[in-house]
Structure 1
Amino acid sequence: MAWKSYGLDRTAQQLVINAKKRDEKSLNQSYKMRMSVAYGLERFWGEHLRLKAKEPEKAEYWKATWDALAAIMKKAGVEIPNDAVNLNNVEQIQTMSDKLWQLDINDQRVALAVLTQLCDCIVWWTQRYKGEKS
């Protein structure tokens, strides 16, 4: 079987460019994303909910990164839950959280490895594109 990059670097570059277009200050989230990977998929996914009400641009960056992870993993044959969730609907949040906790342990490990690399790429591109304002 041949190695496939799944376009992580290109995806990361586009995520950073899109974040920069929305609000350059949200680029600082790149470093927080990379650090949060160590806490697991559930916490990474939930961070966009925490930010949604007060810092929507930052929340959008986190959610876009999660969406990218789900798409990348799907190409690799691993289905990562990515349900639409309303911040005020506790049942939707619980259902999505349960799905993440119930992922096969090997799928979790692979997804975390891919997320780690994706975030490393995001940090790299952030360092290149970050302006004086951020």
Structure 2
Amino acid sequence: MAWKTYDLDKHAQKLVLAARKRNKDSLNQVFKMRAACAYGLERFWGEQLRLQNDADKAKYWGDTWKVLVEILSTAGLKLPNDPATGANVETMAQKLWSLPLDDQRQALAVLTQLCDCMVWWTQRYKQV
């Protein structure tokens, strides 16, 4: 089996540029995204709910999740993508916890790498 990049760097650049265009203040969220990878998929997905009072930041997290779902689907891994509402927090968490352990690990590895790429692009596009 050959190594596939799944265009993580390209996806990361697009996410960062879109966030920068919306609101440069939301760019720092990427560092929090990268740190959140250590806590699991359900917590990463749930951050967009916590940030609902700041639409730009919440959108950045939500867009990143959507891109992760797309990337994983091209790799043959189906990740749940329920709408981020308070009503379905428990359902979404259960779906994510119910994924086979190998799928969880692969999804987290891809998410971590995606966030690493996003950190790199953020550092390039941030204005000092």
Q: Compute the TM-score of the two structures, normalised by the length of structure 2.
A: 0.97
| 1:51 to 2:47 alignment | no
Structure 2 letter corresponding to 1:38: A
**Structure 1 outlier segments of 4+, above 3 Å:** none
**Which residue, 92, 96, 100 being the options, matches 1:104?**
100
| Aligned twin of 1:24 | 24
Structure 2 letter corresponding to 1:14: K
**Structure 1: which 5+ runs fail to align?**
none
How many aligned positions are there? 128
Structure 1 letter corresponding to 2:31: Y
Task: Give 1:83 shift.
Answer: 1.1
**Structure 2: which 5+ runs fail to align?**
none
Q: Deviations over 1:33-88 (max 9, x none)?
A: 00110001010000000001x2110000000000010100000000000012323x
Between the aligned partners of 1:7 and 1:80, the Cα distance in structure 2 is 18
Task: Give 1:96 shift.
Answer: 1.1
Over the matched positions of the two proteins, sequence identity in percent amounts to 59
**Which residue, 51, 75, 94 being the options, matches 2:90?**
94
Structure 2 letter corresponding to 1:16: V
Task: Give 1:2 shift.
Answer: 1.1
Q: Deviations over 1:10-40 (max 9, x none)?
A: 0000000000011000000010000110001
Equivalence map 1:48-127=2 (5 Å): 48-52=48-52, 54-87=53-86, 89=87, 92-127=88-123
Alpha-carbon RMSD? 0.8
Structure 2 letter corresponding to 1:65: T
Between the aligned partners of 1:85 and 1:111, the Cα distance in structure 2 is 19
| 1:6 to 2:6 alignment | yes
Q: The residue matched to 1:84 in structure 2 has which SS?
A: coil
